[in-house]
A and B are shown apart, each in its own frame.
Chain A
Amino acid sequence: AQSVTQPDIHITVSEGASLELRCNYSYGATPYLFWYVQSPGQGLQLLLKYFSGDTLVQGIKGFEAEFKRSQSSFNLRKPSVHWSDAAEYFCAVVHASGGSYIPTFGRGTSLIVHP
């Protein structure tokens, strides 16, 4: 069965420091990959997505992610974190299943930003 693993439940960084959130997936083919952010009381918002082509994708709010097929990973990065980046981050995979395209989300990583 397809799965998405976000190994870090919590990540704490200082404001201005760099950030990397890990995501690994289990799927036979190259899936469609997404990163979403969820702030308290708000709906999930798409940060970026990868389908094919250039393995480094740029997203909103200064985020980027790199697809590494050999490692089945799609890690999210930001060079300098702002206090407003504190939120829950979800990696998601969309895969074909019986003619439908089913999204599978990881359990999320909670980002804490220290001043």
Chain B
Amino acid sequence: DTGVSQDPRHKITKRGQNVTFRCDPISEHNRLYWYRQTLGQGPEFLTYFQNEAQLEKSRLLSDRFSAERPKGSFSTLEIQRTEQGDSAMYLCASSPHLREGRETQYFGPGTRLLVL
């Protein structure tokens, strides 16, 4: 068990560019979550998957944000046409599927995005 990993750890991009982040969950976990964390704030829920199914995506910040988990293992979060306001830490977490809402989420170290 190597924990949740995220790649890259840091990303600097210019406004208007697209970026994609990857998350590799703990291997036996079938739930995967994405969050955004801005400075001085707690994590803000964006979306989550159970296996390859995206169960909740209404909290994605705009239609520029999308996430996939095509084979139910790793996931990607893409931001199109980045804006300076997208600068934040993007966190991924995974959990086993236990009784709804009671799962312990295991967080990765995050990807820090800076949009110039």
A positions within 8 Å CB-CB of B: 4, 6, 9, 32, 36, 41-46, 49, 51, 90, 92, 94-96, 98, 100-108
Contacts and interface: CB of A to CB of B under 8 A. Distances in A.
Interface string B93-116: 100000011101111111000000
A100 B56 CA distance: 7
A96 B109 CA distance: 27
B56 A51 contact: no
A36 B107 CA distance: 10
A106 B37 CA distance: 11
A104 B45 contact: yes
Contacts, number: 63
A6 B109 CA distance: 23
Contact of B55 (A41, A94, A100): A100
A100 B45 CA distance: 12
Nearest to A110: B40
A102 B45 contact: yes
Contacts of A90: 42-43
In this complex, which of A9, A46, A94, A100 has the most chain B Cβ atoms within 10 angstroms of its Cβ? A100
Chain B interface extent, by class: 20 to 34
Contacts of B55: 100
B104 A106 contact: no
Contacts of B56: 98, 100, 102
B102 A32 contact: yes
Contacts of B44: 105
A102 B105 CA distance: 12
A105 B43 contact: yes
B102 A103 contact: no
B59 to A, nearest CB: 7
A32 B48 CA distance: 18
